[in-house]
Amino acid sequence: MTALVNRQWLLARRPSGLVSEADFKWNEAAVPELADGQVLVRTLCLSCDPTQRGWMSIDTYLPKVELGEVMRSSGAGRVVASKHPAFAAGQLVQGLVGWQDYAVVAAGKPGALMPLPPGVPIETALGALGITGITAYFGLIDVGKAKPGETVVVSGAAGATGSMVAQIGKILGCRVVGIAGGADKCRYLTTELGLDAAIDYKSEDLAERLGETCPKGIDVYFDNVGGDILDAALGKLAMRGRVVICGAISRYNEAAPGPGPKNYMNLLLKRGRMEGFIVLDYLPRVAEAILPMAGWLAQGKLKDRVDVQVGLERAPAALARLFLGQNEGKQLVRVAE
Ligand SMILES: NC(=O)c1ccc[n+]([C@@H]2O[C@H](COP(=O)([O-])OP(=O)(O)OC[C@H]3O[C@@H](n4cnc5c(N)ncnc54)[C@H](OP(=O)(O)O)[C@@H]3O)[C@@H](O)[C@H]2O)c1
């Protein structure tokens, strides 16, 4: 086992603005011997998540990655060796494997390592039926309390989480309007995913288009981006509208917090509710989301779009794609077949 070479990306410095390869250092190390309770995992596929930008800089719901540590990342892999009774060599698993070929995981910690659902492709397990899908499901249904006939607006709508929110909204019988960057993404939302309308925030007047597409106001605004888009959506809130604060990718590269939304007080006037959530709180209830979503996927009601970059070397560039809007669906990095 010690003969295995572990290729890794270590965090070299705190990033300024957009992440770049220079924020990381390529390293090759030996794979350590396993201690009791540990599992050795061969990384097969990495998930790229905007939250990794925060992990590189500041303490959030997890402590920041220390300089010189392997870059934290969720992903999937195959167990090579195990000193934990719940895992055996050959098994497919998912967890925080990091940007490296081999991860030694202390499998006893809650949520550290989970078996992949049987028969589910790795890309789906990391996307539609993984953290992405669970975030969308509970965010829209549990936090947003979306009901049939209501108007749901989702930002980052062509992205991994947003496209799941949009489709679940349609399945629930809501009117769904998506906000995304560029004509191609907007066309995908209306023609492929069947949304009622899509708004290109890069070329259209957002406030005007929200007024046109949501004549009765917004009942649920699912926010993935924050900033000016959140502000525009707050301005169109319906009476007792709910704002789901899932993320704020437009702000993650800023060194200091930007000014707050001007339309914030509309929450008061409209008796609205704005609520943040972290998907990790819902891990004990995963089956509640996965069972209906697996059914919708099988019935073709839910489309799962993945964007796969190939090679561990591509990990920093793949993460940057999220902030450049280059990813078309869930961004993954395939490390090994
Ligand atoms: N609360 C939780 O537990 C939880 C869990 C998972 C994810 N999240 C959050 O959910 C959001 C989406 O994550 P994801 O993994 O699904 O990524 P994603 O939507 O697949 O990719 C990110 C997308 O964000 C958009 N974007 C980037 N910079 C932007 C900007 N300045 N203004 C507006 N849009 C911008 C881009 O789309 P365009 O081309 O349309 O701009 C890009 O494709 C993130 O904010 C993430 O932090 C939260």
Least confident of 249-263, 286-300, 307-321: 249-263
Q: Is residue 292 part of a domain?
A: no
Paired with 83 in beta bridges are: none
For 214-266, the DSSP string reads -TT-EEEEEESS-HHHHHHHHTTEEEEEEEEE---GGGTT-SS--PPPGGGGH
Residues 200 and 86 in one domain: no
Number of domains within the chain: 2
Residues 190 and 255 in one domain: yes
Q: Is residue 186 part of a domain?
A: yes
pLDDT one-digit tens code per residue, 238-260: 999 999 999 999 999 998 888 88
Q: Is residue 289 part of a domain?
A: no
Indicate the pTM of the whole model.
0.95
pLDDT one-digit tens code per residue, 19-44: 999 999 999 999 989 999 999 999 99
Q: Is residue 299 part of a domain?
A: no
Residues 138 and 260 in one domain: yes
Paired with 174 in beta bridges are: none
> Which 3 state secondary structure label does DSSP give 154?
strand
- The CATH number of the domain holding residue 153 is 3.40.50.720
Atom of ligand 1 lying closest to residue 250 CA: 31
- Give the mean pLDDT of 256-274: 89
What is residue 271's DSSP assignment?
T
Q: Is residue 315 part of a domain?
A: yes
* Final residue in a domain of this structure, among 280, 296, 312: 280
Ligand 1 within 6 A of 50 CB?
A: yes
pLDDT one-digit tens code per residue, 96-109: 999 999 999 998 88
Spatial CA neighbour of 79 closest among 61, 66, 92: 92
| Half-sphere exposure at residue 149, Cβ-oriented, CA atoms within 13 angstroms | 0
Residues 273 and 140 in one domain: yes
- The CATH number of the domain holding residue 56 is 3.90.180.10
Paired with 309 in beta bridges are: 333
> Which 3 state secondary structure label does DSSP give 141?
helix
Ligand 1 within 6 A of 47 CB?
A: no
Q: Is residue 15 part of a domain?
A: yes
Calculate the alpha carbon distances from 42 to 1, 31, 78, 334 in Å. 12, 11, 5, 12
Residues 21 and 118 in one domain: yes
Q: Give yes or no for residue 324 having a pLDDT over 50.
A: yes
Spatial CA neighbour of 81 closest among 54, 53, 57, 102: 102
Q: Is residue 288 part of a domain?
A: no
For 3-36, the DSSP string reads T-EEEEEEE-S---SS--GGGEEEEEEEPPPPPT
Q: Which residue has the tokens 């010189």?
A: 68
Residues 110 and 156 in one domain: no
* Residue span of the structural domain in which 198 resides: 131-280
Instruction: Decide: 102 and 93 in contact? Cβ < 8 Å.
Output: no
d(CA 31, CA 224): 38
Site to probe by mutation for ligand 1, drawn from 47, 55, 224 as the one with most ligand atoms within 8 Å of Cβ, is 224
Residues 110 and 137 in one domain: no
